[in-house]
Structure 1
Amino acid sequence: MTGKTHLYLGIVTGVGVEAVLNGIDIWSVNGLTEILVGGVLIGGLSALAPDLDSSGMLGKMVTESSQKARWFGFILIAILGAVALFTGFGHTTALSVVAVLLLCSLLVRDDIQRKVTLGIWGTAFAYFGFMNKETWLIAIAAFSLLCMIAKHRGLTHTVWALGLWAYVCYLIGIHFGLQNLMWVGFSGYLSHLFADSLTKERVRYFYPIIKIPFGIPWIKTGSASGTLYEFIVKAVYTIVMIGFIFVSH
């Protein structure tokens, strides 16, 4: 499936789950806010998260963020390096190291740059998570590092990664007081695996223990017929989700 299809399915799923679990009046101000933040943002992000293992829609954003941070990295090194020189080791030194690594990531290109950037992010999240005893940051670090080492449609497209992402969303939800964030994240991520199960490659849900792909080899991503079939999937999925929302209410 294309990134746009995954994003669409994730948003529809997130909005549906938020509406069902919270009994939200989607036409009220509070209801619309919860739908936009919980459903659209987290649902869409969760649906794109599995493809951080490749140069997909979210993977390209990671690479581009590294490229656009070039001058920011230079400035950060200068400022934090000077501060660290006079204050000793601490957060400033750690941030200086992150800035240097960020600049180093610009020396490589394409998929390697994505991996290096994810590694930098993971290291930074882990450092500040351990330093401040914030479990949610450590969980994000674990997922970032998983995406860094995973091959496309490998570890990130498994039930293990699904559980890790749900745990990440659970901890973020607790930290920021956002109810049902775990279920929105879980459902959005699952929508990606479900959609990929309908493609020719299918999904190895229990990799590396069981390497057999599961699903229906129906859609060839990128082909003319694949585009048509993806439209049909989105249409049917939307109708089902709307019906699910109305029935639950």
Structure 2
Amino acid sequence: MKELKGTTHLAIGVGIGVVAAATHPITVTNAAAFVLVAAFSALSADLDGTSLLSGKLTKAARLIRVLMLWGGVAAAGAAAYLYAAKAIFYPYWTIAAAVFVLLGLISGNGAIRNALVSLIGAALIYAGYAIGHGWLMGLGLFVAWVPWLNHRGLTHTVWAVIAWGAIGWGLERKLGIEGIMTTATCGYLSHLVADTLTPSGIKWLYPLTKKTFKLPFR
């Protein structure tokens, strides 16, 4: 098995969240925070590809691609009709129609999905700026950037764990719940450890080295 399912990573993350909740003062708010943070962290490394978090956007991406293609075709047809029937030429309309047709033809569903994820990241950056939450801006930057990276590249490294821990530290300060940073870091780290146990492994120290760490260790 080269890849673990997202549901497996999710289950591991939920388990980490439950343990964290059980080892800290238990309240409904705290328990929910620990489980949600650990579960989301355990899935976030796979935002560099189709994942449990971004997979739902694939249908939306497919629809957008169809709308761009056929919307462009319809606009081009309308422009052609107006020119043929009434000798009226709309250059900007014609250019826009051509652009939409070309985008529909050359854009893959994956690229559109990545763009949608990046838009979500941009919204998080703006929200973090608007309310003065640095951790949310950091999360937004992560979400906006990583969809364009190679799968199991930088998001599957020790550097990503450190960056995610910094985001978790900011969240812990805002929530005032001790242990959130550790929970976030452990959740993210669990994803990388689990992927290390697969035959394809991961490059923990990329880009310093392209060595892949996997089982059997060698």
Question: Does TM-score exceed 0.5, indicating one fold?
Answer: yes
The counterpart of 1:34, out of the listed 13, 30, 33, is 30
* Structure 2 CA distance for partners of 1:42 and 1:133, relative to 1, 3 Å: closer
Find the counterpart in structure 1 of residue 43 from structure 2: 48
Find the counterpart in structure 1 of residue 17 from structure 2: 14
1:57 paired to 2:57: no
Residue 17 of structure 1 and its aligned partner are, at CA, apart by 2.6
Bigger Rg over Cα? 2
Aligned equivalents of 2:143, 2:29: Cα separation in 1: 28
Query: Structure 1 runs of 4+ off > 6 angstroms?
Result: 65-69
Amino acid in structure 2 at the alignment position of 1:44: A
Find the counterpart in structure 1 of residue 162 from structure 2: 163
Amino acid in structure 1 at the alignment position of 2:10: L
Amino acid in structure 1 at the alignment position of 2:14: I
- The answer as to whether partners of 2:128 and 2:134 remain within 8 angstroms in 1 is yes
Amino acid in structure 1 at the alignment position of 2:13: G
Aligned equivalents of 2:57, 2:177: Cα separation in 1: 25
Identity %: 33
Q: How do residues 29-178 of structure 1 correspond to structure 2 at under 5 angstroms?
A: 30=27, 33-35=29-31, 37-63=32-58, 108-178=107-177
- The answer as to whether partners of 2:48 and 2:147 remain within 8 angstroms in 1 is yes
Aligned equivalents of 1:45, 1:129: Cα separation in 2: 18
Deviations 1:188-226 (A, max 9, x none): 1111111000101111111111111113159xxxxxxxx
Find the counterpart in structure 2 of residue 4 from structure 1: 7
Amino acid in structure 1 at the alignment position of 2:47: L
Find the counterpart in structure 2 of residue 195 from structure 1: 194
Aligned equivalents of 1:65, 1:137: Cα separation in 2: 25
Amino acid in structure 1 at the alignment position of 2:43: L
CA RMSD of aligned residues (A): 2.6
Secondary structure of 1:12 counterpart = helix
Aligned equivalents of 2:15, 2:130: Cα separation in 1: 37
Residue 168 of structure 1 and its aligned partner are, at CA, apart by 1.5
Aligned equivalents of 1:68, 1:16: Cα separation in 2: 41
Amino acid in structure 2 at the alignment position of 1:34: N
* Structure 2 CA distance for partners of 1:179 and 1:119, relative to 1, 3 Å: same
Aligned equivalents of 1:34, 1:115: Cα separation in 2: 32
Aligned equivalents of 2:139, 2:41: Cα separation in 1: 13
TM-score by length of 1: 0.62
* Structure 2 CA distance for partners of 1:23 and 1:176, relative to 1, 3 Å: closer
Find the counterpart in structure 2 of residue 229 from structure 1: none
Residue 124 of structure 1 and its aligned partner are, at CA, apart by 2.4
Gaps of 5+ in 2: 65-102
Aligned equivalents of 2:130, 2:37: Cα separation in 1: 26
Deviations 1:63-83 (A, max 9, x none): 4577799xxxxxxxxxxxxxx
Amino acid in structure 2 at the alignment position of 1:151: N
Secondary structure of 1:213 counterpart = coil
Paired residues, number: 174
Aligned equivalents of 1:59, 1:118: Cα separation in 2: 7
- The answer as to whether partners of 2:203 and 2:213 remain within 8 angstroms in 1 is yes
- The answer as to whether partners of 1:3 and 1:56 remain within 8 angstroms in 2 is yes
Amino acid in structure 2 at the alignment position of 1:47: A
